[in-house]
Structure 1
Amino acid sequence: MIKAHMSFKNAPKGGKSAAVLKPVFECFASCPRGLETQLQAEIEKLGGRKVETTHGGCTFEASWIQATRITYWSRFAGRVGLQIAKGPFQSDEDLYKLALTVPWWNWFGLSQTFRVDLNNLGANVKSIRFTQLRLKDAICDAFIRQFDERPNVSIEEPDVRVFGAVSATEAMVYIDLAGENLFKRGWRLDKGEAPLKENLAAGIWAIAEQRATAIGATHFIDPFCGSGTLVIESVCTLCDRAPGLERPFGFEKLKPYDPALGQALQNEANQRFNAGLDKALEERHFQWTASDITPLLVEMAEENAKRAGLGELLEAGLIQFSQKDALVTKPTSELGLMLTNPPYGERVRAKGADIPEDEAYVRLFKEFGNLLKSSYAGWTAMVFSGDLEIKKVIGLSPKRKTPLFNGAIECRLFEFPIAAGSYRPRAENS
């Protein structure tokens, strides 16, 4: 973690290779599909200009300092790239020649490792893998021409990441500012890939928070909390915790990086997070109650929350995790918002029932729908699911269905307003 000693506005504009920096760069930020609009608004708020949405991300203009700030503070982005070359494209050789013109040694050194990735945006190439290798070759050859040496490639843990994109007519080359994907916030206890990535969870919360504000809800419930991703990302937003507070970044390993810039970012983030925690503890403007039937996941959620710096809120009861069957949860106020990402597959059989997964799934969510209608009148339930027909099993009609993608999986964020009134349990089929 970078230590802070000065305010952001006083940070020097560039380090050892400041000469490589232009006043404005073309940039690209990726995001989970469906969150492009949220990312656009966020980048504009963080100082990006001419922001336009595209498939799976946004293009924008920014200075070096603005781009690093966007990388540090973006809740929705996965990667942020600084465009360092752009030219016409008809063949692999065009990409090679374009990348060969870049003074790579102004960005990183011979002792650093690098990795290259490439996106095909509609280019007519025989092999995207071969085209990617030509980009790598150009970087190596540029160093060899300059120093008679070349840096090594590392696929797993590179110091520097370069990514390119080729369309039917253009080639673009970017230096990556993120390093590891930005959904990796640094607070997750478990080392495996999370079913719900943190930047997607932050986007789900951004949509849900608009509904919560509209109905005046300050009480929130997640009855299928898992390891706490939705809860933690929502509270981090509510308390103004920077997504980059506890993680390293790719831009720190680039030559133009000035440590004072990192110190400034960290200092600002620390101040804002402390102020956000103080506000939450003093005003108690939200209450999160979360549970899961699996004890290990509840323990993990609590540890993740502590690692995210939310321990004081746990102690104050503003966040409460407990081991509980979702079907016995009760509302914590007359009005509130339930936000949850229900389980799939084996997790629906957490009670140990020896029945097929499909049958367990239907049984669970029929009962869950009955619970919502009988106990949560006046609330709004927002359910994120890869089951596009879950509404039929729950037995409620959604007011909205927001398309979002969890990786390659098409999902929906369903909004179910739960009306007050009489309730009659559904008859079981004989």
Structure 2
Amino acid sequence: MPYSSPNHSKPNNAGKPAGQQHNSTKQSVFNCFASCPRGLEEILVAELETMGAQKTRAVTGGCTFEASWRQATRMTYWTRFAGRIGLELARGECSNEEQFYNIAKSVDWYNWFKLSNTFRVDLNNLGADIQSVRFTQLRLKDAVCDSFLERFDERPNVSVEAPDVRIFAAISPTEAMVYIDLAGENLFKRGWREEAGVAPLKENLAAGLWHIARHSEAGKNADVFLDPFCGSGTLVIESLSQLCDRAPGLERPFAFENLKPFTREWGKELQEDANRRFNAGLDKALTTPYFQWYASDITELLIDIAQENLARAGFEELLDAGIVQFAQRDALTVEPPTPAGIVFSNPPYGERVRAKGADVPEDEAYERLFKAYGDHLKMNFSGWTAFLFSGDLEIKKTLGLSPKRKRPLFNGPIECRLFEIPLTRGVYRPRANGELAANPITEQPQAGNSTED
């Protein structure tokens, strides 16, 4: 299921629809849950707190918090790291499917959406002793439909593929929680991507990687960035979005726009504020350039796609001004454009390695590429720091470089690391077999200093 474990410490509205304890939904304070890629939980908490979230608590794959309707919808529009945000509408003790149905039925669903709206339901079983997830999920659908049937003698239609409204629930051995989804399509879908390369990185994970790199000691004052494996440009675009204050939701629809508490005036206010901030960010970057981006890939088609994605995201002026530069290049031939900077990249693996033209098994192609790229960094990028995101947990052995830090993260179900690798001057001496060896080229951490934050 697409939702992680919502785990509030104390329910505010046990067995009752949230929002009916106050004069109006817009003034209510809701328990909320936001999902995110595993490893970004604390970053997500800090982000949502800057937008007014209260009583935040990180849980695996997300966080819980309290927020008003306006705060929660603004968070949905602006969050860079969340996948979904849901408002808790009901919660109560639950040990069987009938109790679960009654909890879901306690919500006055007509207060939230119209009979003409389509909807879908999802369920996450957190260890409850239920007959089947499918049957219990159908009981959630029945509760919503029965609520409308009693009022109108009609029921709204279900749409699995393109619903107007999404409802999700979680059921544990002792209780159940029912949420209405404010996002609709997962929030990593920013609206600018029409085409992608092989195995594209999700945008919210890419945003988290940039945030971590940018807030490191090496990254906070850096102004030159290079991605030699840029693919369709996800890392570049997500970094530009943060540098230029572009709202992730600027060019996409949201499920909250189909809910009754939403007004055109509130939507206009969100849009105008986002446009103002983005225009100011672009003007700053164009009039007083404070960063330079270089991106390349060996596949010419991917460079074309990356530039098209960049333009759709609204950064064409940066491309025209040369502040962002794309080129079709083999990563092993890319030279540093300045004496110091940041290599920020998600190097290829699997099918992406074979796309580089290696007519050998994937593992062998990967080892060859990484060994060669490690040698290239050693010989040419002294003074730089590399931030490389990879599912190769033993990258030190493959790349031949020692990471200073290793940040655990998950790319979907795949355990990965964001490796921070400082590159310093070294002396190369020929090995006995004629290969080059470093002596040493990277900062070697003292015992215990190589950390996983």
Give the TM-score taking structure 1 as reference length. 0.93
**Which stretch of structure 1 is more off in the superposition, 23-32 or 203-212?**
203-212
Shift of 1:194: 5.2
**Equivalent of residue 274 in structure 1, options 251, 276, 279:** 279
RMSD over equivalenced CA pairs, Å = 1.8
Shift of 1:193: 8.7
In the alignment, what sits opposite 2:343? Answer: 338
The CA distance in 1 between the partners of 2:220 and 2:111, in whole Å, is 53
1:183-332 alignment runs, 5 A limit: 183-190=188-195, 195-211=200-216, 216-332=221-337
Cα–Cα, structure 1 residues 143 and 366, in superposed 2: closer, same or farther, change >3 Å?
A: same
The CA distance in 2 between the partners of 1:203 and 1:280, in whole Å, is 22
In the alignment, what sits opposite 2:130? Answer: 125
Corresponding letter in the other structure for 2:266: L
The answer to whether structure 1 residue 163 and structure 2 residue 168 are counterparts is yes
Task: Kindly indicate whether the alpha-carbon contact (under 8 Å) linking 1:100 and 1:141 is maintained by their aligned counterparts in 2.
Answer: yes
The CA distance in 1 between the partners of 2:352 and 2:148, in whole Å, is 51
In the alignment, what sits opposite 1:348? Answer: 353
Structure 1, unmatched stretches of 5+, are 1-13
Task: Kindly indicate whether the alpha-carbon contact (under 8 Å) linking 1:212 and 1:218 is maintained by their aligned counterparts in 2.
Answer: no
SS of 2:55's partner is strand
SS of 1:225's partner is coil
**Equivalent of residue 187 in structure 2, options 178, 182, 185:** 182
The answer to whether structure 1 residue 89 and structure 2 residue 94 are counterparts is yes
Shift of 1:408: 1.0
Shift of 1:352: 2.8
Task: Kindly indicate whether the alpha-carbon contact (under 8 Å) linking 2:198 and 2:351 is maintained by their aligned counterparts in 1.
Answer: no
Cα–Cα, structure 1 residues 54 and 328, in superposed 2: closer, same or farther, change >3 Å?
A: same
Cα–Cα, structure 1 residues 88 and 33, in superposed 2: closer, same or farther, change >3 Å?
A: same
Shift of 1:182: 0.4
Corresponding letter in the other structure for 2:58: T
Task: Kindly indicate whether the alpha-carbon contact (under 8 Å) linking 1:212 and 1:337 is maintained by their aligned counterparts in 2.
Answer: no
In the alignment, what sits opposite 1:101? Answer: 106
Shift of 1:196: 0.7
Corresponding letter in the other structure for 2:206: A
- The Cα offsets for residues 119-158 of structure 1, whole Å up to 9 and x where unpaired, read as 1223222312221111111111111111111001110000
Task: Kindly indicate whether the alpha-carbon contact (under 8 Å) linking 2:228 and 2:334 is maintained by their aligned counterparts in 1.
Answer: yes
The CA distance in 2 between the partners of 1:29 and 1:348, in whole Å, is 34
Task: Kindly indicate whether the alpha-carbon contact (under 8 Å) linking 1:212 and 1:336 is maintained by their aligned counterparts in 2.
Answer: no
In the alignment, what sits opposite 1:375? Answer: 380
Cα–Cα, structure 1 residues 160 and 146, in superposed 2: closer, same or farther, change >3 Å?
A: same
Task: Kindly indicate whether the alpha-carbon contact (under 8 Å) linking 1:288 and 1:318 is maintained by their aligned counterparts in 2.
Answer: yes
More helix by percentage: 1
- The Cα offsets for residues 196-236 of structure 1, whole Å up to 9 and x where unpaired, read as 10000000000010126656211111000000000100011
**Which stretch of structure 1 is more off in the superposition, 77-86 or 353-362?**
353-362
Shift of 1:108: 0.8
- The Cα offsets for residues 141-199 of structure 1, whole Å up to 9 and x where unpaired, read as 11111111100111000000000011221111011100111000000121789531000
Shift of 1:244: 0.4
Task: Kindly indicate whether the alpha-carbon contact (under 8 Å) linking 1:92 and 1:131 is maintained by their aligned counterparts in 2.
Answer: yes
SS of 1:211's partner is coil
Question: 1 or 2 for the larger relative contact order (CA 8 Å, sep ≥6)?
Answer: 1
Task: Kindly indicate whether the alpha-carbon contact (under 8 Å) linking 2:218 and 2:385 is maintained by their aligned counterparts in 1.
Answer: no
**Equivalent of residue 29 in structure 1, options 27, 34, 41:** 34
Task: Kindly indicate whether the alpha-carbon contact (under 8 Å) linking 1:176 and 1:251 is maintained by their aligned counterparts in 2.
Answer: yes
Shift of 1:348: 1.8
SS of 1:151's partner is coil
The answer to whether structure 1 residue 70 and structure 2 residue 60 are counterparts is no
The CA distance in 2 between the partners of 1:19 and 1:214, in whole Å, is 45
SS of 1:34's partner is coil
The CA distance in 1 between the partners of 2:50 and 2:100, in whole Å, is 34
Cα–Cα, structure 1 residues 189 and 33, in superposed 2: closer, same or farther, change >3 Å?
A: same
Cα–Cα, structure 1 residues 351 and 103, in superposed 2: closer, same or farther, change >3 Å?
A: closer
Task: Kindly indicate whether the alpha-carbon contact (under 8 Å) linking 2:41 and 2:61 is maintained by their aligned counterparts in 1.
Answer: yes
**Equivalent of residue 400 in structure 1, options 397, 400, 405:** 405
SS of 2:262's partner is coil
Corresponding letter in the other structure for 1:294: T
The CA distance in 2 between the partners of 1:371 and 1:292, in whole Å, is 16
Give the TM-score taking structure 2 as reference length. 0.88
Shift of 1:390: 2.4
The CA distance in 1 between the partners of 2:58 and 2:274, in whole Å, is 27
Corresponding letter in the other structure for 1:25: F
In the alignment, what sits opposite 1:10? Answer: none
Corresponding letter in the other structure for 1:59: T
Cα–Cα, structure 1 residues 193 and 254, in superposed 2: closer, same or farther, change >3 Å?
A: farther
The CA distance in 2 between the partners of 1:353 and 1:72, in whole Å, is 42
- The Cα offsets for residues 89-140 of structure 1, whole Å up to 9 and x where unpaired, read as 1111111001111100111111111000111223222312221111111111
Cα–Cα, structure 1 residues 428 and 75, in superposed 2: closer, same or farther, change >3 Å?
A: farther
In the alignment, what sits opposite 1:4? Answer: none
The CA distance in 2 between the partners of 1:194 and 1:154, in whole Å, is 28
The size of the alignment, in residue pairs, is 414
Seq. identity, %: 65
The CA distance in 1 between the partners of 2:370 and 2:395, in whole Å, is 8
Cα–Cα, structure 1 residues 273 and 215, in superposed 2: closer, same or farther, change >3 Å?
A: closer
The CA distance in 1 between the partners of 2:175 and 2:399, in whole Å, is 48
Task: Kindly indicate whether the alpha-carbon contact (under 8 Å) linking 2:214 and 2:220 is maintained by their aligned counterparts in 1.
Answer: no
The CA distance in 1 between the partners of 2:99 and 2:434, in whole Å, is 66
The CA distance in 1 between the partners of 2:280 and 2:44, in whole Å, is 24
